[in-house]
């Protein structure tokens, strides 16, 4: 057992050397010259073909890098989840604050009251009208644009027959995109747009 421990410790500097050289190559990939990269590739090829230990260290670096990347992706996902929880908590708190201030009613000037603290002031502000698409299919075509999803291998044939009907049996799927800005503009101008509504009369909490 002591011999195995000593062997493992003795191998660490070489592992670090491989890690550092490979990491340097990866970090400076956009900065090194083609000649420098070719030299690295030659040295690496010589080492991997000549020594079993170098193959193991090279493989260890790959596994270590992949594992480290996996850990960081997991951490990023965890941080993103925590951020969503915090954002939701802040949003709920703002909604509670709006409810409290709206419950106090308006002052003589018709404005909602402010709640002043020693460091912050809470107030409500009207939210700009927002668009709600209640039925995307019901929105008229005048407010839509669309693209076609076509099998790539069929495209040359379509180019040759662009003025003719599409080939029989060709799967062409229209993907509609709603111009939400145009829909909102129409609704604000008093026009009726099926499948769409304006959300108005909402307040948000302002923290100053």
Mean of pLDDT over the chain? 80
Predicted local distance difference test score (pLDDT) of residue 195: 92
Q: What percent helix, strand, coil does the chain show, rounded to 5?
A: 60, 15, 25
As a whole number of angstroms, the distance between CA 55 and CA 39 comes to 18
Residue partners of 126: CB distance under 8 A and separation at least 6: 201, 202, 203
Kindly tell me the burial class for residue 166, based on how many C-beta atoms sit within 10 Å of its own C-beta (0-12, 13-18, 19 or more).
Answer: middle
Predicted local distance difference test score (pLDDT) of residue 1: 41
Tokens 């090829």, residue located = 45
> Residue 83: pLDDT band by 50, 70, 90 thresholds?
very high
Predicted local distance difference test score (pLDDT) of residue 157: 80
Predicted local distance difference test score (pLDDT) of residue 108: 86
What pTM value is reported for the model?
0.58
Query: What proportion of the chain, given as a percentage, has pLDDT over 70?
Result: 80
Query: What proportion of the chain, given as a percentage, has pLDDT over 90?
Result: 34
Q: Where is pLDDT greater, at 140 or 164? A: 140
CA distances from 168 to 28, 156, 160, 200 (A): 53, 15, 15, 49
CA distances from 138 to 135, 143, 202 (A): 5, 11, 26
């Amino acid at each position: 057992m002591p011999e195995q421990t000593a062997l493992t410790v003795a191998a660490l500097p070489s592992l670090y050397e491989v890690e550092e050289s490979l990491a340097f190559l990866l970090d400076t990939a956009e900065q090194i010259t083609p000649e420098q990269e070719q030299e690295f590739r030659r040295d690496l090829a010589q080492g991997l073909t000549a020594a079993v230990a170098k193959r193991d260290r090279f493989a260890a670096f790959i596994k270590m890098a992949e594992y480290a990347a996996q850990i960081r992706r997991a951490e990023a996902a965890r941080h993103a989840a925590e951020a969503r929880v915090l954002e939701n908590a802040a949003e709920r708190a703002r909604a509670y604050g709006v409810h409290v201030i709206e419950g106090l009613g308006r002052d003589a000037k018709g404005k909602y009251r402010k709640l002043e603290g020693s460091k912050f002031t809470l107030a409500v502000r009207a939210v700009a009208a927002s668009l709600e698409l209640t039925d995307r299919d019901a929105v008229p075509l005048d407010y839509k644009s669309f693209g076609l999803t076509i099998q790539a291998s069929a495209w040359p044939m379509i180019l040759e027959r662009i003025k003719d009907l599409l080939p029989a049996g060709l799967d062409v799927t229209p993907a509609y995109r709603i111009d939400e800005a145009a829909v909102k503009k129409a609704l604000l101008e008093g026009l009726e747009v099926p499948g769409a509504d304006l959300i108005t009369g909402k307040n948000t909490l302002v923290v100053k």
